[in-house]
Amino acid sequence: MSTSTLEDRALAVRSFNRFYTRQIGVLHEHLLDSEFSLTQVRILYELAHRKELTTSDLCRELGLNAGYLSRVISGFEKKGLVTRTRSATDARIARLELTEKGRATFEPLNDASQREVVAMLERMPESAQHQLVESMGQIQTLLGDPEPGYILRDPQPGDMGWIVHRQAILYAQEFGWNSEYEALVAEIVAKFVREFDPKSERCWIAEKDGKAVGSVFVVRQDDVTAKLRLLAVDASARGLGIGRRLVDECLRFARLAGYKRMELWTNSVLTDARKIYEKAGFQLIEEEPHRSFGKDLVGQIWARDL
């Protein structure tokens, strides 16, 4: 690689950064009418969407100076927007949480920001919207992990059959479920293909070394609620963060599609998946014992606001 080529690439990245910064500035001009800076709104966003964050978590994930963040949080506390709770296991650690006033303050800012992005996307053809989101995902992956080892892509011919086949094998091997589950998966996939609406529904395939290793669906439950379905990752590809990334993509798509809430149905024995849902901000809202797939199970509904 020659120095000139690397320099040219660096200039291209800097040019993109300037362009994108201008775009973000245009999208968030309305925030200038509020008492909060863009960074403060980012902090409120993280607190609104994730549980039990600490100041260390926010510093690391938002790239903020600890002293600056401490001053911001103190200001939020004085306004009654944030509370601190000492950890039961380590008194040195304080968990941050938005108060009801904090959530009421954040929601109008979040709604306005969402409307601005939706308006920007509406000016583009739908195919360009998907291309933009995919490209952003690629940038995020490349900058976050230079060698992620996998890609996320749209379904290709044969992928739907693979999902039914792989899910049936996976759950038979790991949980002893019978063919009733294969029938359920086949019904879900068939309905998705027959009634697919790209504005409100989506499927991702995770691919590693040229092979499909995971998948997930977002489908419409009603006008305001999206449903996450059939999250699965092959044992050979676990530990790479694929499950978490698939769930993150579902949440991102659902917000862009205008949904206000996301739900999913799972079973208590799927402990790895439940950990992913919890980390993504989902909460258990209902559970009920049932006999399905040849086993006595406890079905669970998890949900979160978007």
Residue extents of the structural domains in the chain: 3-108, 132-305
Read off the pLDDT of residues 218-261 as tens digits, 9 standing for 90 and up: 999 999 999 999 999 998 888 888 999 999 999 989 988 889 99
- 3-state class (DSSP) for residue 135: helix
> How many C-beta atoms lie closer than 10 Å to residue 279's C-beta?
13
The answer to whether the Cα torsion of 205, 208, 211, 213 is positive or negative is negative
CATH class of segment(s) 3-108: mainly alpha
Please tell me the pTM assigned to this model: 0.57
| CATH superfamily, with its number, for domain 132-305 | Gcn5-related N-acetyltransferase (GNAT) (3.40.630.30)
Cβ neighbours of residue 110 closer than 8 Å, sequence gap 6 or more: 45, 48
Cβ neighbours of residue 282 closer than 8 Å, sequence gap 6 or more: 262, 264, 302, 303, 304
Write out the chain's pLDDT in tens, 306 residues: 444 588 888 888 888 888 887 777 766 655 556 778 878 888 888 888 777 788 888 888 788 888 888 899 999 999 999 998 876 666 667 788 899 999 999 888 888 878 888 888 888 887 788 778 777 777 776 676 555 578 888 898 999 999 999 999 999 999 999 999 999 999 999 999 999 998 899 999 998 878 899 999 999 999 999 999 999 999 888 888 899 999 999 998 998 888 999 999 999 999 999 999 998 999 999 999 999 999 999 999 999 998
